[in-house]
Chain A
C-alpha cells in the first residue's frame, strides 16, 4: 500500500520553464490537496479538490494550475516558473471522517527555480 506518491522528488527549473508535479493516492480518498512549504515556514494551501471533477483555490493559487484527472490523481502545473516558486511541494489526500478528517501526505517534491 503506497499511500500518496509524488513525482518527481527533485527538480531544477530555469525561470520561465513549465512543469507538472504528479500526485497519486491509492486509498480511495475523495479529497486531495497541494501545499507548498518554504524553508523554515509552515504549509500554505495552493489548491484543493473536494471530489473528482472539482477544484478550488487555496491561500496561494497564483502561478499554479491543477487538474483532478480522476479519483486517484491530482496534478499541479507551473506554467512559467519563477524563483519565488522555489519550495517543497506536498500533496495530501484526506480520509473522510468527523470534522477535518485525517490528511495523508506524500514525501514532497523539492523544486528549485533558478
Chain B
C-alpha cells in the first residue's frame, strides 16, 4: 500500500519561508505528488501537484528530486492564515488516493 511520511508538526514565524518534506519511498513510475491544505472544520484544499523537478504556482513551490522518493512543499513568507495541516498524497493505484498523517504547521506572530 502506498505510504507517505511527513513530520508531525512544525512551527514558524510570520514572514519566514517554510519547507515541509514528504517521503514516499515506494512511489510508482506514473504517480504524481500532490499536496493539500486543511483548515479546522473544513475539507482539504488542493495546493499543488508535480511529477519531477520544480513546480511553482501563486501560493507554493514543489521540489521533487530526480529519484522522486521525496518531495518538499515550500511556502514563501508565511502568514498567520497559513496555520493549517498539510498533506502530501500520491496514488496507490491511480484512483485509490491515500492521505498521509499530515504536518500541522503553526505560524506565530
Contact indicator per residue, chain A 9-37, by CB within 8 Å of chain B (1) or not (0): 00000000000000000000001010100
CB distance B49 to A103 under 8 Å?
no
Complexed CA–CA distance, A4 and B45 (Å): 13
**Chain B interfacial residues counted at CB < 8 A:** 29
Flag if A100 contacts B45 (CB, 8 Å): no
Known: A92-B43, A105-B43, A108-B41. A45 touches B36 (CB 8 A): no
**Most chain A C-beta atoms within 10 Å of own C-beta, residue among B34, B44, B51, B100:** B44
Decide if the interface of chain A is mainly helix, strand, loop or mixed: strand
Q: Identify B99's interface contact among A45, A99, A107, CB under 8 A.
A: A45
| A35 neighbours in B (Cβ, 8 Å) | 99
A94 within 8 A of B: yes
Contacts of B1 in A (CB 8 A): 59
Q: List 9 A-B contacts (CB under 8 A).
A: A42-B87, A43-B44, A48-B95, A99-B33, A99-B49, A100-B34, A100-B90, A102-B46, A103-B46
Interfacial residues, chain A to chain B (CB-CB below 8 A): 4, 31, 33, 35, 41-45, 48, 50, 56, 58-59, 90, 92, 94, 98-100, 102-108
